Structure 1
Amino acid sequence: MSAKQPTIKEIAKRLNISISTVSRALHDHSSIGLRTKTRVKELAKELKYEPNQAAIFFQQRKTFTIGVILPFLSELFFSSAISGIEDVAVKSQYTVLLGQSRDDANREKHIIETMKKHRVDGIIISISKHTTNYEHFNRLRQSGIPVVFFDCIPNMTDIHYVACNMVSGTVQATSFLLKNGHRVIGLINGPEKLYASKQRQEGYQIAMSKHRLKYDPSLIVNSDLTKEGSRKAVKELLEHKRKVTAIVTFNDYVALDAMQYADAQQVAINKDVCFVSYSNLPMVEYLKYSPMASVEQNPYLQGQKATEMLLELLQKKEEDQTDNSSYKIIIDSHLVEYKQ
C-alpha cells in the first residue's frame, strides 16, 4: 500500500499555523510574510506535498480545461490549428481536451455533451460539414459555457468566431485564372448548406462580375467532399457543354482527387485544365501533380486567435462582467502560387 499523501492540514500542524495561512503561502498571497512563505514551501517540498487539483478546481469553480472539437485530427490543416491552440493555452496554464467529430453531426453532439460532463471551462469548435441543425450549440451557450467557432462556422447570429476571409480568397483564386486567360472556369464547391460553400460561391460571382463575364451557375458543382463526390463533380465539369479550362476546388484534398481522376481521363493537368485550390498544404508541392495555386487559410493563426478569444471570454465570466456583444475576427487570406 502506498504512503498517505501529505496534506495542507499536516503542514499547518507541524508549523503551528492555520490551514488558511498555509494555503495563502503556497499561492504567494501578498498578506503572508516572506519568512512564513519560505517555511511553508520548504516543508511542503520536504514532505513532497502535491496540491489537490480537484479541490482547487472546486473552490475556483473552474477546471482550467478547454475542449476542442475538430472534424479530423489527422488533417494537416487541423494539426496546425491545434498547435496554435495549445501554444496559447499552455502559456495560460490551461489543458486542452481534444475530440474529433469525423464530420458526423451526431458524434459532434455526443462529444459536446461529454465535454460538458467533464466540466470544461469553454469550447473551441470547427463544425462538421454535415451539421445543419444548431440546437446543440444553443443549449451549450445556455449552459453558460463560452463557445468560439473557427474555420468552419455555423450560419448563426450572435456567435463568437474566428474565420478566414473566403470570399476574398475566392476572388483572388478566380481572378488568378482569369488573368491567365481562362474564361470558362468551374467551381467544385462543398455541401450546399455549408456556410463556407456560400462564401466561395459569392467570391466566384464577384470575380466573374469584376471581369465583366456572365455568371453561369451550371459551372458550380457541389460535392460532399468525399473522394467519390469530388470525382463525380470533376467528371461533370469535364463533360460540360462549355469547354472548361480551369477549376477552383473546395480544398487541396478535393483538388488531389479531382486531378487524379482527370489524369486517368488523359487530361493534361494544368495544361488542358488548370486547378486552383485552398488550404496551401505543405505536402502539395511535393506531389506529382499540384494545383497552380492555393489560398492560404492561416490555420495556426486561427487557432491562436480562437484561444485568445475564449480566454478573454472566460476572464470576463470570472469577473462577472456582463457583455452580450459577439466577438468576431476575420483573417485575410492570400493566394500562394506554386512553381510548375
Structure 2
Amino acid sequence: MKSGLITIKDLARELKISASTVSRALKDHPDISAETKRAVNELAKKLNYQPNAVALSLKQRRSNTIGIIIPEIVHYFFSSVISGIEDVAYDAGFNVIICQSNEKYEREVANAKTLLASRVDGILVSVSKETEDFSHFYNLRNNNIPLVFYDRIVPGLEADQVIIDDFDAAYRATRHLIDSGRQHIAHFAGPQKLLIGKQRKDGYIKALKEAGLDVDEDLIIEADSFEKARLAIMKLLNTGKKFDGLFATNDLTAIGAMQTIQKRGIKIPDEIAIVGFSDGRFSGITDPTLTSVDQHGYEMGTIATEMLLKRITSEDDEYPFETKVLDANLIVRGSSL
C-alpha cells in the first residue's frame, strides 16, 4: 500500500472490488451485501481512511466549514466570542477556521482571501481598527459568501449583525460615575473611525450634558490599549488637569490607567474612580476590582453563529438581514464605589 492519504481506490484495489462498490458500502447503501460492507469498513478503519473533504465539498456544494476574522485572539472579549462560535458550530457539525487580523487592514484583507480560497460556507467578522476600505467584504458578498458582523460592523453594508448598544452602555457607565459624585470625568476613547469608538464617546458626552457638566475636550483622549493608557494618564496627571473619574473604552485601557495612577500614590476610588468596558478576566482580580460593562462575548458568539448557520442552510435567499442588539449591563465593583 502506498504512503499518504488512503483513497477509495486504494480500498477497492486491496479488496479487489470496484471503487463505486466501496463508496456505496461506506454509505451503507442497501444494494451492497452485509459481508461486503463489513469488509470495506474493517479495512477503512484499519488503514485509517478519511473521506476527502475537498471532494465532498465540491460534490455537496458545502464544506461544513465557517470562517472567523477576529481582531485579537488574546483579548478576553474576543476569546469569549470564539468560545460561543465554536460551541454552536460544533453542535451543528461545522468546522471553524480562525483568522486573526491583529488589528491590521492588510492582514484582514489577506484573511478574507484565505477564507474565500478555503471554500468556507460563511464568515463571521469583527472589523480591525485600521480598516476604512471595505471592498474585501463586498467582494465576499459578490462571491455569495454569507457574512455576519459581530461587535464591529461595516456601516452601510447590508448584512446580518450582532452588537451591543455601545451608546447606551457608555452613557450608563458615565452616569454611574456622575451619580457617585464625580464632576470632572475623563474619557480614554477608541478610534473614532470605528462606530463603537464613536458611540461610546457620544454616550459619555450625553451623560455629561444631561447632568449639566462641561464637556472638556482636554479630558477626552484617544487611548485604547494598556500602553497607550499608561502614557496618556501620565501626560494628563503631569498637566495638573483636575479630574476625579475616568471612563475607559476597554478594560485593558482602564487597568493601564489604574496601575499608573496608583504608582503616583493616588487612591482609587477615593480620589479617582474608574470604569472599564468588556468585563474581562482581569476586572475581578485588580486591586481594587474594576467596575466594567459586560459585553456578553460568549452570547454574542452563539447568536452570531446561529444567524450565520441559518443564512447558510436557508433555501430562501431573499429573507431580510437581521440586526440583534444585546443589552450590556454595568458590573459595579471597587474601582468606583
Structure 1 match to 2:260:
261
Is 1:7 paired with 2:3? no
For residues 240-266 of structure 1, the C-alpha deviation after alignment (integer angstroms, 9 at most, x for no partner) is 776211000011100111112222333
Which residue in the other structure is 1:166 paired with?
Answer: 166
Cα pair 2:25 2:40 within 8 Å, conserved: no
| AA at the equivalent of 1:262 | I
Aligned-pair CA distance for 1:269: 2.2
- Equivalent in the alignment of 1:297: 295
Cα separation, partners in 2 of 1:15 and 1:92, compared to 1, 3 Å:
farther
Between the aligned residues of both structures, percent identity stands at 33
Structure 1 residue aligned with 2:127 = 127
Please tell me whether the aligned partners of residues 184 and 242 of structure 1 are also in contact (alpha carbons under 8 angstroms). Answer: no
Change (3 A) 1:6 1:268: closer
The alpha-carbon distance between structure 1 residues 243 and 94, as it changes in their structure 2 partners (threshold 3 A), is same
8 Å Cα contact 2:11-2:43 kept in structure 1? no
Task: State the distance in 2 between where 1:180 and 1:37 align.
Answer: 78
Cα offset, 1:285, TM superposition: 2.1
Match of residue 318 from structure 2? 323
Distance 1:136 1:52, change over 3 A: closer
Secondary structure of the residue aligned to 1:285 is coil
**TM-score with structure 1 setting the length:** 0.86
Q: Is the 8 A contact 1:237 1:244 kept in 2?
A: no
2:311 pairs with 310, 313, 323, which one? Answer: 313
Task: Kindly report which structure 2 residues correspond to 1:245-284, keeping only aligned pairs within 5 A, or say none.
Answer: 245-284=244-283
Task: State the one-letter code of the partner of 1:296.
Answer: D
Q: What's the offset of the Cα at 1:23? A: 5.4
- Partners of 1:196 and 1:206 lie apart in 2 by 15
Q: How far is the alpha carbon of 1:168 from its aligned partner?
A: 1.8
Partner residue of 1:47? 43
Deviation at 1:151, TM superposition (A): 1.4
Q: How does 1:152-301 map to 2 (within 5 A)?
A: 152-223=152-223, 225-235=224-234, 237-238=236-237, 243-291=242-290, 293-301=291-299
Residue type of the alignment partner of 1:112: A
Q: How far is the alpha carbon of 1:66 from its aligned partner?
A: 1.0
The 3-state SS of whatever aligns with 1:335 is strand
Residues 5 and 110 (structure 1), Cα distance of their counterparts in 2 relative to 1, 3 Å cut? closer
Q: What is the match of residue 84 of structure 1?
A: 84
Aligned partners of 2:132 and 2:19: how far apart in 1? Answer: 56
Q: Does 1:107 align with 2:102?
A: no
Letter in 2 for 1:328: T
Seen in structure 2, the aligned counterparts of structure 1 residues 226 and 283 have a Cα distance that, compared at 3 Å, is closer
User: Which stretch of structure 1 is more off in the superposition, 50-59 or 140-149?
Assistant: 50-59
User: Equivalent residue for 1:136?
Assistant: 136
Contact conserved, 1:25 with 1:40, CA < 8 A, in 2? yes
Q: CA RMSD in A?
A: 2.9
CA distance in 2, matches of 1:18, 1:260: 67
Q: Which runs of 5+ in 2 are unaligned?
A: none
Paired letter, 2:156: M
Partner in structure 2 of residue 71 of structure 1: 71
Return the offset for 1:218. 4.0
**1:117 is aligned to 2:117:** yes
Determine if contact 1:129/1:191 at 8 Å carries over to the other structure.
yes
CA distance in 2, matches of 1:112, 1:93: 23
**Structure-2-length-normalised TM-score:** 0.86
Distance 1:231 1:18, change over 3 A: closer
Inter-partner Cα distance in structure 1 for 2:7 and 2:42 = 10
Distance 1:202 1:184 in 2: 16
Matched with 1:335 is: 330
